[in-house]
Structure 1
Amino acid sequence: MIPLALNSSRLRLGLAGAGTPALRRLRALRAAGAGEELRVFTTDPALSAEAGAATTPRLPTPEDISPLNLLWIAGLEEDIYRPLAQAAQDAKLLLNVEDVPEFCDFNSVAEIRRGDLLLTVSTGGQAPGLAGAIRKRLEACFPESWATRVKEIATLRQGWRAERMPMAEAARRIDTLVEEKCWLSCPKLR
């Protein structure tokens, strides 16, 4: 696996699906910043209602799929997802069919968002329940206050860059600050 953080504003994203798995994926994509670039293909009224204007009220055609960069398929039966997956592979876009490893070019990760801080856990799709359990433990170690901490460090870093401080010195100062404030002590992981 190659870990990446993708800028969703530069990508054409698609979600085809129905039911709880597709709703869960839609919410995760929105939490990750997917906005107008996300197209949702569904005949599920609940998913359609939540997706709003992003909805195309049918499953995608190969013509719908080919301009996409990434496609998630969730909550569809095999006889429905297989031709969609084949069209995605033919179009050479990145594909994830939930819980079907043979159709996964990438795996979605368990994630924790604290403002601009993004922590992820992956087992390469082999043990998603374990990734979720680790995520829960990390949530306790990285509370919401980390959003403010990231902003604090970012402000300091901007000032140091304006002063043309060498990167190594800025990193040393950040390490010292984190140590002095005990930000990384988490007894719950022991």
Structure 2
Amino acid sequence: MRSVLPIVLDIANRRIAVVGRGYAALQRYEYVRDAGVEQISLYVIDQDGWACNAEAAIYERLPVKADLEGAAVVLIAGLVVEEATRIAASARAAGALVNVEDVPHLCDFHVPAIVRRGDLLLTVSTGGKAPGLAQKLKVHLQTQFGSEWTARIRTVADARARWREEGRAKAEITRLTNELVDREGWLKAREPA
């Protein structure tokens, strides 16, 4: 088993490059866009016209090493292994973290299955070994954590800010948070729709 460190990257003011072909590149672009990335460089071939609607700097070619300078993250999808290997090496040389879809040994990180509910971010990862299972678990989480969680996060955040302002200790804030969640019954299992 590879050692992994789960983290959430703050991508404000960082450039992300998406490199690929066809539908696989579209999926990676949507992943980055949905995360709120504003600086996207999109290097696509065989994109069937979808890229013209992308909110990104679009290049209808594969990147050269200089294109990847300044990218914090490079996502590669839909390329043959030889192309992906070359681009991954260039991206790493430029200091970027790299993910190559379905080629775990070329990845610095894996892309988890994601459920977003406002500021609530739930992820499932199988370390790239069982993406179908991760997707199934994602669907289950979607049934358990609906859109109401956007407001719930705000409620807890407001309460936490108030408790901190009152000078309460971290352990007490944790206890009060648990009491609030329990009192509201937010973590009772829901029946799938």
Structure number with the higher helix fraction is 1
Aligned counterpart in structure 1 of residue 14 of structure 2, from 11, 15, 27: 11
Contact 2:25-2:44 within 8 A present in 1 as well: no
Alignment of 1:34-183 (within 5 A): 34-35=37-38, 37-43=39-45, 44-183=47-186
Between the aligned partners of 2:20 and 2:50, the Cα distance in structure 1 is 8
Pairwise CA distance, 1:188: 4.7
TM-score, normalised to structure 1's length? Answer: 0.91
Between the aligned partners of 1:162 and 1:108, the Cα distance in structure 2 is 37
Residue identity in the other structure for 2:181: V
Supply the RMSD in Å over aligned alpha carbons: 1.7
Gaps of 5+ in 2: none
- Count of aligned pairs: 188
SS in 2 for 1:173: helix
Between the aligned partners of 1:39 and 1:89, the Cα distance in structure 2 is 16
Gaps of 5+ in 1: none
Residue identity in the other structure for 2:161: Q
Pairwise CA distance, 1:117: 0.3
What is the percent sequence identity of the aligned residues?
37
Contact 2:117-2:146 within 8 A present in 1 as well: yes
The residue number in structure 2 matching 1:24 is: 27
Deviations 1:78-114 (A, max 9, x none): 3432321221233342111101112111000001000
